[in-house]
Structure 1
Amino acid sequence: MSLRSSRRRDRRMMGRAHTLARLNQGLTGVNPSVGCIILDRDGHIVGAGVTGLGGRPHAEEVALDEAGARAHGGTAYVTLEPCRSRSQGNKSCSVKLMEAGIARVVCAIEDPHPVANGGIRALRDAGIQVQIGLGQRESQRLYRKFFESIL
Structure 2
Amino acid sequence: MKLTAPSQYLIAFIFVSVALFSSCEEVVVTPPVQTISFEEANRLEETYKKTRAAILNDTLGYEDTREFWFSLDTIKKYISYIEQEGTRMGKKNLGLRVYLGAYPSQGNYPDPGYSTVFMVPTVKSEGNPLKQGFLPVEDTHENLDSLNALNYGHGGKPPHDY
Higher relative contact order (CA 8 A, sep 6+): 2
Structure richer in helix, relative to its length: 1
TM-score, normalising length: structure 1: 0.28
TM-score, normalising length: structure 2: 0.27
Q: Which is higher, the Rg of structure 1 or of structure 2?
A: 2
